[in-house]
Amino acid sequence: MAVAGTTTTTSATEAIYTAILEDSLLHELRPAMFMRGHFKQAPSTVGESLSYDFLLVDPSTSNSPSLLYSNTEATVGIDGTAFTVRELQTDKARVTAGLVGIMGATADVTKAVTVVDIRAEITGALSRTLLHKWEVDATANLANFSNTTTAASSQLTADDLLSAIASLEQRDVTTQYVGGFHPKQLADVRADITGRTGEVWGKPDMPDLQGHYRDSWGSLFGVPLYASTVVSSSGGNYQGAIFADKEALGYLEIWGPKVEIWRDGRALLDYVICSNVYGSVEISDTRGQTVLSSTT
């Protein structure tokens, strides 16, 4: 007979079995997530508003300096010299945050007869689901740039990516670029590079999209490339993009992912509640290039 307060053989055995089960348990598969670090984040101190305006000066893509101004007025200086008064042209991109939540319940009976920590497992699964939802909403922005490089109905090539990069350069987008794609798109580019024999592709230090781990697929001509299966498709084409890091897209987050436990003693349940309040928006259309390629 065990002394009160000590670990019995039975409880020790259960603890060992629980550790074995938890160590062997495979969590559900989830897509890679990469978008959060590439948004321009709205200030956290936004008062009580669920919206925030990202301001732009001269959203025009034209090279004409006159388009910097929306209104002009002719006047005369104190010495009689004529000059023009002009108002600076600005625009804004408004992001509005919305509540996203998910809930699950664990019954006392289930907790009593399950050797693993079922509430912890459900909490983890719901948290990953919430993060998954955030990434789905974030990658939807990649399809919204009006400028498009297309390999529609065909496989994506390195030439297509270089064309997208060149398009940004020719619009004076001179900052760090980043690429977000569906894994099928970068697999196409990898296959394209593998089949090439030119000197540039044979250099040992040339990034070739090999040795990736989930989200990061390496880089091409200095542009880091990422991939996730939540990148959308439409009309038989995946909708990835190359865009200016922390300039093309923005997001507002009132509060980040959080987990709360609500005990309902009447129903003998613990509710696990996960929530997040956020929104994302395209700030500057000229700073991104949507890249299309076939889903087959």
Task: Delimit the domains of the chain by residue range.
Answer: 35-40+99-294, 58-92
**In the prediction, which pLDDT does 4 show?**
45
**In the prediction, which pLDDT does 17 show?**
59
Distance from C-alpha of 174 to C-alpha of 214, rounded to nearest angstrom? 28
**In the prediction, which pLDDT does 195 show?**
77
Residue entry with tokens 């670090």? 37
Distance from C-alpha of 158 to C-alpha of 164, rounded to nearest angstrom? 10
**In the prediction, which pLDDT does 110 show?**
84
Q: At what angle do helices 158-170 and 183-194 cross, to 10 degrees?
A: 110
Asked if residues 104 and 270 have their Cβ atoms less than 8 Å apart, the reply is: no
Asked if residues 147 and 288 have their Cβ atoms less than 8 Å apart, the reply is: yes
**In the prediction, which pLDDT does 74 show?**
79
**In the prediction, which pLDDT does 5 show?**
46
Q: Hey, how many other C-beta atoms are within 10 angstroms of the C-beta on 200? A: 9
**In the prediction, which pLDDT does 259 show?**
94
Distance from C-alpha of 233 to C-alpha of 136, rounded to nearest angstrom? 12
Asked if residues 294 and 151 have their Cβ atoms less than 8 Å apart, the reply is: yes
Q: Hey, how many other C-beta atoms are within 10 angstroms of the C-beta on 73? A: 8
What are 76's strand-pairing partners?
82
Helix, strand or coil, per DSSP, at residue 154: coil
CA distances from residue 202 to 94, 191, 192, 219 in whole angstroms, order as listed:
46, 15, 13, 15
Cα angle 205, 210, 215 (rounded to 5 degrees) comes to 120
Q: Please name which of 274, 27, 279, 249 lies closest in space to residue 144, comparing C-alpha atoms.
A: 249
**In the prediction, which pLDDT does 7 show?**
46
Strand-by-strand arrangement of the 98-107 sheet: 40-41, 249-264, 269-282, 98-107
Long-range contacts, stretch 7-16, CB < 8 angstroms, 24+ apart: 14/115
CB-facing half-sphere around the CA of 258: CA atoms within 13 A: 10
Helix, strand or coil, per DSSP, at residue 19: helix
**In the prediction, which pLDDT does 219 show?**
86
User: Low-confidence residues of the chain, pLDDT below 50?
Assistant: 1-8
**In the prediction, which pLDDT does 81 show?**
85
CA distances from residue 181 to 17, 142, 267 in whole angstroms, order as listed:
42, 9, 46
**In the prediction, which pLDDT does 19 show?**
65
Long-range contacts, stretch 263-266, CB < 8 angstroms, 24+ apart: none
Helix H segments across the chain?
A: 9-24, 108-113, 118-139, 158-170, 183-194, 199-202
